[in-house]
């Protein structure tokens, strides 16, 4: 990844949650040739806000998110998350990151609580105090009365709220959401956005 001077484009923001300068992603296809999916993106997201990445289909939103999450290296440019260089510091960044994917990828055969406990194990979260933390997340997601229910029995709105609760298991500083309300009815969308507003007031950065 190219090393570029970055201080001039921070617009007075010290220690932003997300910073990109000149970020590019080019794909090579043996038949179709070269395609520039992200073209010199500059981005500076202050901490503690809700920032929307908008654009038409094919604008490069998903590619940009994949680079932010360390799932795809940029072709060129500078990228920092939470003050750390990406993809070099991917491991440290992931410990501070929460992800709500566009499609729910919960385990349908496990209960609501089991899904949270399994995900907590990926972060090496100690069992001591985990039960209390899960209680708080279930209360936040309005799923306390569903903790023993299998995921396959939940409504679409409940699954989205569980996916959000799962993304918060490591108390992330930055929460990345890919079209979080897709497929939800108006009431479920309102409930989810209310939960996200709570997170923002607590200082979590939402992208």
- Which option is the CATH number for 7-93: 3.40.50.620, 3.90.1640.30, 3.40.50.300, 3.40.50.11540? 3.40.50.300
3-state secondary structure of 167: helix
Mean pLDDT of 60-81: 91
Query: Where in the chain are the domains?
Result: 7-93, 98-206
Predicted pLDDT of residue 55: 87
pLDDT at 9 exceeding the cut of 60: no
Express each pLDDT in 72-117 by its tens digit: 999 999 999 999 999 899 999 999 999 999 888 999 999 999 999 9
Task: Name the band, by pLDDT with cuts 50, 70 and 90, for residue 11.
Answer: low
CATH topology for 98-206? Rossmann fold (3.40.50)
pLDDT at 33 exceeding the cut of 50: yes
On the CB side of 101, CA atoms within 13 Å amount to 7
Domains 7-93 and 98-206 equal at CATH topology level: yes
Residue 37 vs residues 60, 111, 134, 156: alpha-carbon distances, Å: 5, 39, 39, 32
Query: Measured between alpha carbons, how far is 193 from 161 in angstroms, rounded to an integer?
Result: 10
Query: Do 38 and 67 meet the contact criterion of CB atoms below 8 Å apart?
Result: yes
Residue 2 vs residues 5, 73, 75: alpha-carbon distances, Å: 10, 12, 9
Predicted pLDDT of residue 2: 36
Express each pLDDT in 156-196 by its tens digit: 889 999 999 999 999 999 999 988 887 788 888 888 889 88
Q: 87 preceded by cis ω (within 30°)?
A: yes
pLDDT at 14 exceeding the cut of 60: yes
Predicted pLDDT of residue 4: 35
Q: What angle is formed at CA 16 by the lines to CA 119 and CA 136, rounded to 5 degrees? A: 35
């Amino acid at each position: 990844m190219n090393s570029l001077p970055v201080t001039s484009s921070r617009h007075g923001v010290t220690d932003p949650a997300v910073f990109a300068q000149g970020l590019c992603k080019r794909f090579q296809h043996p038949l179709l040739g070269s395609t520039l999916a992200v073209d010199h993106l500059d981005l500076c997201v202050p901490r503690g806000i809700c920032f929307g990445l908008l654009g038409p289909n094919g604008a490069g939103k998903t590619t940009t998110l994949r680079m932010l999450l360390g799932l795809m290296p940029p072709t060129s440019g500078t990228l920092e998350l939470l003050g750390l260089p990406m993809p070099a510091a991917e491991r440290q960044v992931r410990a501070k990151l929460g992800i709500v994917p566009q499609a729910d990828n919960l385990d349908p055969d496990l209960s609501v609580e089991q899904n949270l406990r399994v995900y907590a194990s990926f972060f090496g979260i100690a069992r001591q105090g985990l039960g209390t933390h899960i209680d708080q997340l279930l209360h936040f997601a309005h799923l306390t009365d569903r903790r023993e229910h299998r995921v396959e029995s939940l409504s679409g709105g409940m699954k989205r709220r569980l996916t959000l609760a799962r993304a918060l298991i490591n108390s992330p500083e930055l929460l990345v959401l890919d079209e979080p309300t897709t497929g939800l009815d108006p009431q479920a969308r309102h409930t989810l956005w209310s939960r996200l507003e709570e997170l923002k007031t607590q200082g979590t950065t939402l992208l």
